Amino acid sequence: MFASALVLAVFGGIVTTSAPVAQGVPQPKPATILKPAEQSVIGTIDRFEEAARRLVLMTKEGQVAFVLATDVVVRLGSRVLPTDALATHHGRRAKVRFTQAGGHRTAHWVVISSEPPRIAN
């Protein structure tokens, strides 16, 4: 049974209508916002642009750029580093966990290898 076929009310010049609603029938929940899936990539730190908060890794496929999230965690071994320390680790291996939306990669977690950078012969 329907609560009402159509309700039309005028409140202060505003007209509102309501569609028929079946009693006892569960209503669908509003769509939930899904976070983009997190991915990871391993490469060598090529550069860090502090003003733009942009980290660039060199991988086998080429350069991969990330913008650091405001809550990014940067680790070197068991230590947590400030983001500006990324500029001092050029040439070290790193793993970056990131999300991708609208063609932009946002880094949420960066782990820098404790091994010193490899020197090319």
Say which amino acid occupies 21: V
Q: Between 3.60.15.10, 2.60.40.420, 2.40.50.320, 3.10.20.30, what CATH number should domain 38-112 receive?
A: 2.40.50.320
> What are the boundaries of each domain within the chain?
38-112
**Burial class of residue 14 in the structure, from the number of CB atoms within 10 Å of its CB (0-12 exposed, 13-18 middle, 19+ buried):** exposed
Strand-pair category, 7-11 with 104-112 = unpaired
Share of the chain above pLDDT 70, in %: 68
As given in the structure block, the two tokens for residue 75 are: 């680790």
CB atoms within 10 A of CB 113: 16
Q: Is 109 exposed, middle or buried (0-12, 13-18, 19+ CB in 10 A)?
A: middle
**What's the pLDDT score for residue 29?**
66
Q: At a CB cut-off of 8 Å and minimum separation 6, what does 102 contact?
A: none
Q: Which pLDDT score, from 0 to 100, does residue 117 have?
A: 78
Rounded to the nearest integer, the mean pLDDT of the chain is: 81
Q: Are 61 and 121 in contact (CB under 8 A)?
A: no
For 49-85, the pLDDT digits (tens) are 999 999 999 999 999 999 999 999 999 988 999 999 9
Question: What is the pLDDT at residue 21?
Answer: 57
Task: Give pLDDT tens digits for 23-34.
Answer: 666 666 666 666
Q: How many residues does the chain have?
A: 121
Contact 4, 20 (CB under 8 A): yes
Entry pTM:
0.67
